[in-house]
Amino acid sequence: MALLRGLLWPFQTWNEFFLPIGRWISIVAIALMVLVILIQVFYRYLLNNALPWPDEAARFMMLWMTGLMAPIAFRRGGFVAIDMLVEALPRAVGRALALVLLLISAGVLLVALPIGLNELTGFNAKFATSSLRIPVSIDFSEWMKVPRWWMQGSLFVGVVLIFIVNIELILRALIEMMGGEVKSLLPPEDEIMAE
């Protein structure tokens, strides 16, 4: 039991430190996404002159928001799940089945890791976005197209973070199966209502 708790500590500490940072970055990303979409609506429908970059900028923000929020949702049990069978089984069997499902998830994530890495380093990553540009000089006289891998990095980061969360959940499941107690990952009820 002490070994499992010792293994759990670094994963739990990592997730408790980095996932809230990802949450706040995601909040900024969704706010910027809404702002960019409103700018596009204003230019397209009121000025009848659509801008070329807001669609891609909003997609950029959405991808990063998803990559950073998915691990939080997974850790809190926020993914859509059919848990009728796990709940209907005896407690020990249900926990064993939940552990098997977490192990299968780990296998899928291990397959996804090289795919995400390939998106960062492969052929498609060598291109730039078509309309999204950022200034590269202080006086805004020079602009650079945003490399496509900046967007696609969200896939790799999301998969890595979900994999780390998955390892934590596997260790928690093992500790619980052995009769140990672990603190709940769900926020207090009043915090849920505030979100």
Taking only the tens place, the pLDDT of each residue in 98-131 is 899 999 999 999 999 998 888 777 776 677 666 7
Chain mean position to CA 18: 11
Neighbours of 50 (CB within 10 A): 12
Q: Supply the pLDDT for residue 193.
A: 46
CA distance 60 to 29: 9
Q: Which structure tokens are listed for 20?
A: 């809230």
Q: Supply the pLDDT for residue 116.
A: 86
Note the pTM of the prediction, 2 decimals. 0.84
Residue 56 pLDDT greater than 50, yes or no: yes
CA distance 180 to 172: 9
Q: What is the mean pLDDT of residues 74-87?
A: 81
B/e letters for 52-67, b = 16+ CB within 10 Å, e = fewer, are: ebbbbbbebbebbbeb
CA distance 143 to 133: 6
